[in-house]
Amino acid sequence: TMSAGTPKSLPSSGQKSIHDISHPLSSEDTILTPSPDLPNTSSIGEKDLSLPNGTPVDTSSPASSSSLLNRLQLDDDLDGETRDLFVAVDDPKKHVSTMETYITYRVTTKTTRTEFDLPEYSVRRRYQDFDWLRNKLEESQPTHLIPPLPEKFVMKGVVDRFSEEFVETRRRALDKFLRRIADHPVLSFNEHFNVFLSAKDLNSYKKQGMALLTKMGESVKYVTGGYKLRGRPLEFAAMGDYLDMFTQKLGTIDRIAQRIIKEQSEYLVELREYGPVYSTWAAAETELQEPLEGVSGCVANCCTALEELTEDMSEDFLPVLREYVLYVESMKNVLKKRDQVQAEYEAKLEAVAFRKEERTGVPTDVEKCQDRVECFNADLKADWDRWQNNKRQDFRQLLTGMADKNIQCYEKCLAAWESIVPLLQDKQDAKGETN
């Protein structure tokens, strides 16, 4: 999904003071700065534009990284919560040894939480460390939706996993992964997350083996497949149906978008051959030299604009779709775990009824199982609401960014073609005066 050409080598951004790092969720940047997961874009020209509802859009603000995105203020962005933990992933570095070559990323943390010994941390982590964290979160917080990681294996079409483009795409995905955990009211207090952010030597912690799981984690972990669920409650059945529909829509959009990218790339090859023909023609046509050169330059400008649009689809649009496909799989796994706990509860309840023993109350193990079901249901519904809120924000920003990029592309092409009209008119006027 990368643009054509030789991949750029990965530069080192060097060390920066943590005080110089402006976290994407910091309060001073919340309103005016679009999501860091979306590309920075420049103003789209001098013409006045307006949104479909008639709201004017200022395209000339130098402080704006995306004119449309800044006009679209996400009123539910912070959801009224007070942030006390900020995490950022940056400064990827390539490490080469005799055994392997890999990339590490700097993970910086600022916090006022008392669970941390220090207010600031800066550690380096590689992909497998992020993978370890996610596995630990799944083990110890089975009732919660764990955000997805970018896929471990190189995506189709990517040749060099150490290229600057690939590493940057992964860095942004890892940054989003940690921020989603940091914003979660339960996951952000997980012991493993604390260690991941603060431990200088994470490997020694990993070698301690299986960390203690919560009682809830153990109960879910050892539920066997012997229990069969009679049927999901309607609200959870509706969740499953929605996830199936959402996955299908994302898959269709992803396939079509990849075809569009392929066709645009082929069109770009033609354009790169098309423009220079006018330049060689101009050399043999003194009277038409200037307008022919103008057409050649115009095609070159259109070529650049389309290339930028294609790169944006490959590097910014498609990764968000894929993240949500993985998110759906995570949500389906949590639903399955919930079903297992409910099936266990139903089986125990039936066993008690079958024995027909006279009891003054429900057996303790059945009550505990009922508590687990209620806990699972509450956690899952809370995470579902949080996920839907994040999804709404992400796709509003993604689609607004896509609109902004398309407007930029067509504004540039329009300006390029308009620029050669005076050249043609000048020739016609001069010809008229001669006659």
Would residue 348 count as lying in a domain?
Answer: yes
Q: What is the domain range of residue 387? A: 231-424
81 pLDDT band (50/70/90 cuts)?
low
Would residue 75 count as lying in a domain?
Answer: no
pLDDT above 90: percentage of residues in the chain: 53
Q: How far is CA 53 from the centre of its chain?
A: 28
Rounded Cα distance between 186 and 375, Å, is 13
Would residue 121 count as lying in a domain?
Answer: yes
Do residue 185 and residue 248 come from a single domain?
no
CA dist 412 to 60, 260, 261, 264, 270, Å? 15, 20, 19, 17, 19
Q: Is the pLDDT of residue 89 over 50?
A: yes
Q: What average pLDDT does this structure show over 392-408?
A: 95
CATH number reported for the structural domain that contains residue 127 in this entry: 3.30.1520.10
pLDDT in tens, 276-300: 999 999 999 888 888 899 999 999 9
285 CB-near residues (< 8 Å, 6+ apart): 292
pLDDT in tens, 297-335: 999 999 999 999 999 998 889 999 999 999 999 999 999
Would residue 193 count as lying in a domain?
Answer: yes
Q: Which helix (H) or strand (E) holds 105?
A: strand 101-111
Q: What average pLDDT does this structure show over 199-218?
A: 65
Single-letter amino acid, residue 246: F
Q: How far is CA 390 from the centre of its chain?
A: 11
Do residue 303 and residue 368 come from a single domain?
yes
CATH number reported for the structural domain that contains residue 270 in this entry: 1.20.1270.60
Rounded Cα distance between 161 and 150, Å, is 13
Rounded Cα distance between 341 and 337, Å, is 6
Single-letter amino acid, residue 8: K
11 pLDDT band (50/70/90 cuts)?
very low
Would residue 47 count as lying in a domain?
Answer: no
Do residue 257 and residue 179 come from a single domain?
no
Single-letter amino acid, residue 323: E
- End-to-end CA distance of the chain: give it in Å, rounded: 56
Rounded Cα distance between 391 and 47, Å, is 32
Would residue 190 count as lying in a domain?
Answer: yes
Do residue 247 and residue 375 come from a single domain?
yes
> Residues 171, 234: contact at Cβ < 8 Å?
no
pTM: 0.72
Hey, how many other C-beta atoms are within 10 angstroms of the C-beta on 374?
12
Question: Which letter does DSSP use for residue 99 in this model?
Answer: S
Of the residues 145, 175, 207, the one at which a domain ends: 207
Do residue 356 and residue 299 come from a single domain?
yes
Would residue 264 count as lying in a domain?
Answer: yes
Do residue 241 and residue 163 come from a single domain?
no
Q: What average pLDDT does this structure show over 367-380?
A: 92
Single-letter amino acid, residue 4: A
DSSP structure string for 71-90: HS--TTSSTTPPP-EEEEEE
Would you state the structure tokens that stand for residue 243, as one six-digit string?
């996830």
Rounded Cα distance between 25 and 205, Å, is 29
